[in-house]
Amino acid sequence: MESKLKASEEQVAYAKILDKGMKAGLLMLIITFIIYMIGLLPSYIPVDDLSKYWGMPVHEYLEHTKIHPGWAWLNMLNKSDFLNFVGIAFLAGVTMICYIAIIPILFKKKDTVYGIIAIIEVLVLALAASGILSAGGH
C-alpha cells in the first residue's frame, strides 16, 4: 500500500490555497462589515429599516426592496450593504479555486479518474455560482 503518512501533493496544495483563501475572505468580510457599520458608504437599505424586512420570506423581501437577485450586487458595490457580498462571495468561491489548482497535479500524476471528478466538481460549483439556477419562491 502506498504510504500516506505524509499528506499527498494535491492534498497539501489544496490545504495551502484553502488556508490563504479562508483568511483573505474573512478579512474582507470583517473590513466590509466595519465599513457598513460605521456608515463610511451609504447603504441601499437604511439599517433602521432592516427590521421591516428580515422577517419576510425572501421573495417578498426582494419585491419590497426591489433588489435583483443573482450577481446584480456587483453593480451596487458603492452601497455598503452590498459591499459585504465581496467577502461572502470570496469565501464561497475558495473551494472552486482549490479544485482548479489540484487538477493539473492530478493529471500530472496520471490520476485521470480523480482529475475528471475534480473537473466535474468545478463545473457543479460554477453552475451553482452562475445564478442560472433560481428557486421558484413560495
For the CB of residue 91, give the shortest distance to other proteins in the complex, in Å.
Answer: 6
Angle between helix 80-108 and helix 112-130 axes, rounded to 10 deg: 160
CA 28 to chain CA centroid, Å, is 12
For the CB of residue 5, give the shortest distance to other proteins in the complex, in Å.
Answer: 5
DSSP code of 135? -
In Å, the largest CA–CA distance within the chain is 62
Q: Which three cell numbers stand for residue 68?
A: 435583483
For the CB of residue 104, give the shortest distance to other proteins in the complex, in Å.
Answer: 15
